[in-house]
């Protein structure tokens, strides 16, 4: 599936080819902190299938306790998360679903790091609904 994405302010735009069946949700504490949300949703794109069309993301290198280094790419102007990848010679980019125009057609089909999940965030169906905040 071909997708287009951009940051909130429009400074960064990209396109990619993804397999929507590989989309997932991560509950790890790093994803919670880096996204500012209870979990983060993403879908992988092979390096050869991902192309930045406009702008250049700022890169923050996150070093895990294991020593593994991950590049976290985001817009330096508006802060929108764009992707995560290996810090050196990435072969895959984990695109953040929130920045993809077609996100409604890419459901998260798996969950990871569920032991770190916030209990209340695992099922929000019973929360009152509103079309506004």
Position 48 in a domain = yes
Domain span at residue 102 reads 2-119
Residue range 84-132, pLDDT digits in tens? 999 999 999 999 999 999 999 998 789 888 888 888 888 877 778 888 7
Residue range 36-86, pLDDT digits in tens? 999 999 999 999 999 999 999 999 999 988 888 999 999 999 999 999 999
Position 124 in a domain = no
Instruction: List the CATH number of the domain containing 85.
Output: 2.170.150.70
Q: How many domains does the chain fold into?
A: 1
What pTM value is reported for the model? 0.90
Confidence of residue 133 (pLDDT cuts 50, 70, 90): low
Identify the pLDDT of residue 111. 87
Q: How many residues does the chain have?
A: 133
How far apart CA 10 and CA 99 sit, in angstroms, is: 10
Three-state SS for 116? helix
């Amino acid at each position: 599936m071909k997708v287009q994405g951009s940051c909130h302010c429009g400074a960064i735009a990209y396109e990619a080819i993804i397999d929507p069946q590989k989309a997932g949700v991560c509950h790890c504490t790093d994803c919670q902190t880096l996204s500012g949300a209870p979990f983060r949703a993403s879908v992988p794109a092979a390096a050869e299938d991902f192309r930045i069309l406009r702008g250049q993301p700022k890169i923050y290198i996150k070093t895990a306790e294991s020593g593994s280094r991950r590049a976290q790419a985001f817009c330096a102007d508006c802060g929108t998360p764009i992707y995560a990848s290996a810090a050196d010679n990435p072969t895959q980019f984990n695109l953040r679903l929130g920045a993809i125009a077609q996100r409604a057609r890419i459901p998260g089909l798996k969950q990871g790091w569920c032991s770190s999940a916030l209990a209340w965030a695992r099922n929000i169906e019973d929360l009152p609904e509103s079309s506004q905040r």
